[in-house]
Amino acid sequence: MADISSLGDLRGKRVLVRSDLNVPLDGTTITDDGRIRASVPTITALSEAGARVVVCAHLGRPKGEPEAKYSLRPVSTRLAELLGRPVTFADDTVGPSARAAVQAMADGDVVLLENLRFNAGETAKADEDRAAFADDLASLADAFVSDGFGVVHRKQASVYDVATRLPSAMGGLVHDEVEVLKRLTENPERPYVVVLGGAKVADKLAVIDNLMGTADRLLIGGGMLFTFLAAQGHEIGTSLFDADSVEACKGYLARAQESGVEIVLPVDIVVGKEFSADTATDVVDADAIPADAMGLDIGPRSAELYASRLADARTVFWNGPMGAFEMEPFAAGTEALARALVAATEAGALTVVGGGDSAAAVRQLGFRDEQFGHISTGGGASLEYLEGKSLPGITILSD
């Protein structure tokens, strides 16, 4: 796939960069700027090459029209700080403000357009419904660089359609993400351990299915573990549970036994009466959850067990926290898992934190990005890649 060098001399050229700047906000305060920091190297490289860099991105899930709480204006301020140069913010995406900002650019300048998803054409399902918006976006530039890995699994105007209208290339962030994922899927160094957590088992079923033939061990945590416990016939109380996925989980447990893949489930659980940081807690055996309690984290013996199953790993992929890490009483399992990954990294393993809540958790718990082999910027894109799906934003750059 073509990289930025394939676009030739960019001095004076307008380059539209699709970045992923979808960061968490508390009001107008950015609570984790990891995705903005990850976007900086490609934007800097283009600016220093003399390109006129027009950055586009989305934030949140507006319904195809402007919503003040989803404005990218706070992001433009942080982006300017990290770039160490001014960033002009356009108040619209393809309207008068955007066109005036682009028209006024000098070589090396950076403009950030307002939220792409303020325009219904960005996320429209039908090709013809995205076409006009894609045409308007493409008219702002002479070339396109895809650098938002967190959206490459979406067939959207700024990800897919613009690449059919302009000379296009892969940015450094997307290139690095794809190279890491290749190492997870093409002859990974063994033992290969995959840790899956998070709330919904249904979101991970296809990944588990595909990994049955690749991974040596699957460690299961988070809300999804209770569907596995239910599949084993255990009482799970009022824990998060996906009744529609029980039979699938039974099937995976049976297949794992037949194929020699080790599925590791918790042996103890931190429980409470309600989903609250103030609820009274207890640690119980995983097969002895009280009928009136809910599981909110893996227990301390489970944390030790999981660390032991990571100790000899040479390749690790982790997606999804072990418990409700946002609440201090239920963060210990996720913190222990992160420490085990740091130890594996220090022992020479390739460790990949698969974006989304996992990335947010390790940062919130005080870990540094460089303590892991790679922190992905795209949880959903990473999972779909591991499912074996083709990613539209990648395939269009290969055509």
Q: Please give the helix or strand (H or E) that residue 384 lies within, else none.
A: helix 379-387
Q: Express the helix, strand and coil content of the chain in percent, nearest 5 each.
A: 45, 15, 40
* Catalytic member of 13, 35, 130, 217: 35
Tokens of 372: 């892991």
Residue type, 113: L
User: Is 21 known to sit in a ligand binding site?
Assistant: yes
What is the C-alpha to C-alpha distance for residues 203 and 189, in angstroms, rounded to an integer?
Answer: 26
User: Is 295 known to sit in a ligand binding site?
Assistant: yes
User: Is 61 known to sit in a ligand binding site?
Assistant: yes
User: Is 320 known to sit in a ligand binding site?
Assistant: no
Q: Is 130 a catalytic residue?
A: no
Q: Is 356 a catalytic residue?
A: yes
Instruction: Give the gyration radius of the chain's Cα atoms.
Output: 22
User: Is 22 known to sit in a ligand binding site?
Assistant: yes
User: What is the DSSP pairing of strand 25-26 with strand 29-30?
Assistant: antiparallel
User: Is 357 known to sit in a ligand binding site?
Assistant: yes
Length of the chain: 399
User: Is 299 known to sit in a ligand binding site?
Assistant: no
What is the strand order of the sheet 143-146 is part of?
Answer: 88-89, 110-112, 52-56, 14-18, 143-146, 168-170
State the DSSP code for 318. E
User: Is 234 known to sit in a ligand binding site?
Assistant: no
User: Is 363 known to sit in a ligand binding site?
Assistant: no
Q: Is 35 a catalytic residue?
A: yes
* Catalytic member of 200, 301, 339, 363: 200
User: Is 59 known to sit in a ligand binding site?
Assistant: yes
Q: Is 13 a catalytic residue?
A: no
User: Is 154 known to sit in a ligand binding site?
Assistant: yes
User: Is 60 known to sit in a ligand binding site?
Assistant: yes
In degrees, rounded to 5, the angle at the alpha carbon of residue 71 between the alpha carbons of residues 27 and 96 is: 155
User: Is 373 known to sit in a ligand binding site?
Assistant: no
Omega into 191 within 30° of 0, i.e. cis? yes
User: Is 165 known to sit in a ligand binding site?
Assistant: no
User: Is 20 known to sit in a ligand binding site?
Assistant: yes
* Catalytic member of 148, 272, 379, 380: 380
State the DSSP code for 165. T
User: What is the DSSP pairing of strand 143-146 with strand 110-112?
Assistant: unpaired
* Catalytic member of 150, 171, 356, 378: 356
With CA atoms as reference, report the closest residue to 357 among 392, 383, 385, 393: 383
Output the known binding site. Answer: 20-22, 35, 58-61, 117, 154, 204, 295, 326, 355-358
Annotated catalytic residues are 35, 200, 356, 380
Output the known binding site for ATP. Answer: 204, 295, 326, 355-358
Output the known binding site for substrate. Answer: 20-22, 35, 58-61, 117, 154
Output the known binding site for (2R)-3-phosphoglycerate. Answer: 35, 117, 154
